[in-house]
Amino acid sequence: MTAPGWPARLACGAVEVRPLRARDAGAWSEVRIRNQAWLSPWEGRSPALPPASWRDRHSTAVFAAMLRATRKEARAGRVLPFGLLVDGRLSGQVTVSSIVRGAFDCGYVGYWVDERVAGRGVLPTALALVLDHCFGPVGLHRVEANVRPENTASRRVVEKLGFREEGLHTRYLFIDEQWRDHVSFALLREDVPEGVLRGYLAERLGG
Ligand SMILES: CC(C)(COP(=O)(O)OP(=O)(O)OC[C@H]1O[C@@H](n2cnc3c(N)ncnc32)[C@H](O)[C@@H]1OP(=O)(O)O)[C@@H](O)C(=O)NCCC(=O)NCCS
């Protein structure tokens, strides 16, 4: 089975996104464990699973299982699981998931970066690359992002890329042992006829 637009490698300067590989396991485990305090306020987990420590949830064995599962989903066209590299070093992820085709043609984006590279426009650049790919070869019409109201950094990212705020999802995701509200943002293909990356870079140079 092949999925439109997958696999893909996309790059802009020092920022690159590409499919995660088995040999990323050590780097993924190291960066995720080191960033526990930075990432844990924003990441959900299933309340049905027994609580596990952050370290246990980020072992190389967990990475291998995640990779197996997401590769299968990617081949079926339901997810685009990109690793994010800065100067060749694994520094984050951008994942478009729950892709539904037909009359909806929509996916939901999630992302994170290593705190060491934060504040340099790495994630907006990577997300702009992925969005242009979604609206181009993948053929999506709509991409949604859901963000906790207090996550100012993530809200800035979607604002910079032109997402529209659409509403509030009450008690939407189970994060840090509570169901947390999320603000819903969306971007449509026709919102960005010139391309997301092009608009972002023009804004950066202009601003
Ligand atoms: C949200 C996130 C991906 C943004 O990535 P990024 O590459 O730092 O994005 P930007 O460089 O555009 O910075 C976004 C905002 O972060 C804030 N910021 C800037 N420098 C920062 C730093 N050194 N440390 C923390 N936040 C910083 C600023 O508010 C900035 O907005 P501004 O450019 O208007 O000043 C990143 O903060 C992150 O991984 N956070 C933890 C996980 C998370 O929240 N994921 C998203 C869940 S919805």
Ligand 1 pocket test: pick from 31, 91, 113, 143 the residue with the most ligand atoms within 8 Å of its Cβ. Answer: 113
Q: Which residues does residue 111 pair with via DSSP β-bridges, in sequence order? A: 94
157 lines ligand 1 (CB under 6 A): yes
Nearest-CA residue for ligand 1 atom 37 is 153
Taking the centre of ligand 1 as the mean of its atom positions, its distance from the CA of residue 2, in whole angstroms, is 34
Taking the centre of ligand 1 as the mean of its atom positions, its distance from the CA of residue 122, in whole angstroms, is 9
Per-residue pLDDT tens over the stretch 155-189? 999 999 999 999 999 999 999 899 999 999 999 99
Query: Tokens representing 107?
Result: 């996916």
Q: What are phi and psi of 97, to 5 degrees?
A: -125, 175
Per-residue pLDDT tens over the stretch 105-129? 999 999 999 999 999 999 999 999 9
CA–CA separation, 163 vs 127, rounded Å? 12
- Write down the pLDDT at residue 2: 84
Whether 160 and 203 have beta carbons less than 8 Å apart is answered as yes
The DSSP element (H or E) to which 183 belongs, if any, is strand 178-188
- In 3D, which of 61, 62, 55, 71 has the Cα closest to residue 20? 71
- Any alpha helices (H) in the chain, and if so which ranges? 25-34, 36-39, 60-75, 122-133, 152-160, 196-206
- Write down the pLDDT at residue 205: 85
- In 3D, which of 121, 133, 132 has the Cα closest to residue 92? 121
pTM (2 decimals)?
0.97
Nearest-CA residue for ligand 1 atom 8 is 118
Taking the centre of ligand 1 as the mean of its atom positions, its distance from the CA of residue 118, in whole angstroms, is 6
Burial class (CB within 10 angstroms; exposed 0-12, middle 13-18, buried 19+) of 96: buried
- The low-confidence residues of the chain, meaning pLDDT below 70, are 1, 207
178 lines ligand 1 (CB under 6 A): no
- Write down the pLDDT at residue 206: 83
Contacts of 37 (CB under 8 A, 6+ apart): none
Q: Beta strand pairing status for 142-147 and 178-188?
A: antiparallel
Cα 34 to Cα 30, 74, 104, 112, 113: the distances in Å are 6, 28, 38, 13, 12
